[in-house]
Amino acid sequence: MANLLQIGSSGVLGHQQMLNTTGNNISNVNTDGYSRQRTQHKSQTDNMGLARSVTGREVNKFAQAELLIDTSASSNKDKFLAEITRTDQVLSDDSNNMAAGVSQLFESFHTANDDPTSISNRHLVISDAQTLAASFRNVGEQLNTQAKTANNEITEKPALLNSLIQEVHGFNKQVMTAENTSRGASGTLLDQRDVAIEALAKELDISTIMNDNKSISINLLNGQPLVMQDSISQFQAVGGEPDPSNMELVLNINKNTMQLQDAELGGRIGALLEFRDETVYKSLREIGQMSLGIADAVNTQNKMGLDLNGEMGKDIYTIPPTQAKYYSGNSNPAHILTSKLISGQGSSLTTSQYQVMMTSPLTFDVYEIKDGERSTNPLAVSGVYPGPVEVIDHGFEIDFSAAAGGFQNGDKFLMSPTLFNLNDYDVTRSQPEDIALASILQTKTGTANTTMSRISVTEISDPTLSFANNDLNKTAPQQIIVNNSGDFDIYDGNGTYMATSSSALNGQDLFENAIPPLNPGVGYEIKMDGKPNPGEKFTLAYNRDAIADNSNGLKLAGLESENKLHKSHTSNGQNQMTFAGGISALISSVGNKTRAARVDSAANEAKLMQSRNWIESVSGVNLDEEAANMVRYEQAYNASAQVVRISKEIFDTILNAAR
């Protein structure tokens, strides 16, 4: 009878545990991170009922590993999409329509050209120039706010990361302690650890290793450890190098600080860094390039004309300098460099950054940084230290004078000529009279000429070479006389012969084609239209009747269709674009990135859903299945109880018979 009682009792206890497990599964059907549990039995080897019952989680380690990978990827894409969508909205917002602002500015030049004497038309140019500057400032302010928000979020991330790392490490300790007991670690404890690990995977790309003692070690994908069996690493936010306002993450491992590359992080943090560096700052550099390009083109052309007061034109826009960022290892942080656009070279500006490396207190090298890669060889420069020193073909100059002689070998600086404070970008001139619509030069035809031939000014490249005190220098070429051979003799304002230009060149570029050549030293160029007879004379003079002249205004308006903006890093004949083209390229680039991010986000969300479905198929609670199990286990429990009852009745019968 003892055997039958033992068999029945073990069945009652075993199926009671199975009922408890099933009830627990049903109770936690909506608990996040809960893994279905199963109680399994082993039979006594001597057919004496159940030996012992073991309750454990239903998990698949491959499904769990895939879930972590897909969680990191999906979180990365979702975060990047959320961030870049805000940038796309800023650039495409009608209230920030930079392209419309550019178009309106040049349209106002056309309006002013219709009546150069109209103050109201000229005032419209000033107003639209101010509106365009405000548009650039507004977009720049919003993008800078996005960069600051990203930096603030990066600053706050270590608190979350370190908390999760400590939480996983704490669960590891509890698991190791529980594993040394007969019961082992509970499923609830293991689930809680998995939830913490998944939360960490949303922030970073991680990999996990199950140790023999059932603890889990966690590493970054580059192998740097986060959670070890006996210790943990901690994250810290630090100022970037060389720009301390750009926050970066470092990892403190056993009192050693490890620098981390952005590409090694992944997850939401990797998305934040990629968004800040590859979208926001890149967009700001492009906006800086466009704003400087427009300002330089308008300023340069305005200085080639005469304003309504008959004076040579001046700058319309303020072009601020840019201060370089110094590296922490420099000999003296107070020693700074500045860069500034070279007047007339706005079309050479790129969105590249540049590293200036001091090779001695008085010598230096300049390297271009594009797409994150530094050029192998230093760039060519022109000028004498301490400057300003021109970086040839790149449109800007460097000024070392603030700390001349104080630099040391190895001092480094990072220059971003197109990344400047857009709040300093504005219109310098507020008077409508300052718009220089008239040409500096006027041409006249000799009264004794017998043909309809005439000369016209084709270019004024540098007024400083031949003009001073609102007049044409006497030594500048001012008269053309056709000689007996039909060629063009050139004389200065004193009547002194200077050179002869051949008529065989169809009258094009008389000064440049002259023998000896007069350009580029003259600063302006002319052409001859028609076939004049020998002895005919043509003269150039300072334009003193400029009030109704719009010659320079037409060139100001024509800037809209000229390719004045650098669009690539290689000179292949197709590396220039219009201002509207540059703005369109920026908006399209961010828009295309946003659309691609939306596709990536959806694809990774679908992949994550597949992983969750896999996990759910293994570890999820199925209420129909659990209800069926409850009935089945209850029947087994009742049957085992019957065995106990029958064994008791038999035992009682035997006792009664013995009496």
Q: With 70 as the cut, is the pLDDT of residue 25 above it?
A: yes
Whole-angstrom Cα distance, residue 597 to residue 279? 12
Q: How confident is the model at residue 659 (pLDDT cuts 50, 70, 90)?
A: low
In this structure, is the dihedral angle defined by the CA atoms of residues 217, 218, 223 and 229, taken in order, positive or negative? negative
Mention every residue, 6+ apart, whose C-beta is less than 8 A from residue 252: 233, 234, 235, 236, 258
Q: How far is CA 86 from the centre of its chain?
A: 13
What's the average model confidence in pLDDT over 636-657? 78
What pLDDT was estimated at residue 588? 94
- Does residue 107 surpass a pLDDT of 60? yes
Give the 3-state secondary structure of residue 422: helix
The upper half-sphere exposure of residue 342, i.e. CA atoms within 13 Å in the direction of its Cβ, equals 20
612 Cβ partners below 8 Å, 6+ apart? 67
Residue 175 DSSP SS3: helix
Q: Is the pLDDT of residue 448 over 60?
A: yes
In the predicted model, what is the mean pLDDT of the chain? Answer: 91
User: Which of 42-46, 196-200, 215-219, 281-285 has the least mean pLDDT?
Assistant: 42-46
pLDDT of residue 306: 94
CA proximity to 402, closest of 341, 337, 354, 342: 337
End-to-end CA distance of the chain: 18
pLDDT in the model for residue 385: 86
At residue 571, the pLDDT reads: 47
How far is C-alpha 633 from the geometric centre of its chain's CA atoms? Answer: 61
Ramachandran region of residue 223, left (φ > 0), alpha (ψ -120 to 50) or beta? left
CA distance 120 to 448: 41
User: pLDDT tens for residues 57-82?
Assistant: 989 999 999 999 999 999 999 999 99
Confirm if 605 and 599 have CB atoms less than 8 A apart: no
Return the pLDDT at 568.
63
- Measured in whole angstroms, the distance separating CA 3 from the mean position of its chain's CA atoms is 77
User: Across residues 495-502, what is the average pLDDT?
Assistant: 94
* pLDDT tens digit sequence for 551-605: 999 999 999 999 999 986 544 556 899 999 999 999 999 999 999 999 999 999 9
Among 125, 115, 124, CA closest to 549: 115
pLDDT of residue 163: 98
Q: Judge whether residue 658 has pLDDT over 60.
A: yes
Residue 337 has pLDDT above 70, yes or no: yes
Phi-psi sector, 460: left (phi>0), alpha (psi -120 to 50), beta: beta
Helices (H) and strands (E) in the chain, counts: 10, 29
Confidence class for position 419, pLDDT limits 50, 70, 90? very high
Angle (nearest 5°) at CA 500 between 496 and 503: 140
User: What are residue 467's DSSP bridge partners?
Assistant: 472
Q: Which residue is listed with tokens 């334009």?
A: 543
Per-residue pLDDT tens for 192-228? 999 999 999 999 999 999 999 999 999 998 899 999 9
Q: Is residue 523's pLDDT more than 70?
A: yes
Pick the closest to residue 472 from 496, 433, 440 (CA basis): 440
Residue 15 near residue 637, CB atoms below 8 Å: yes
Q: Residue written as tokens 């939401």?
A: 268
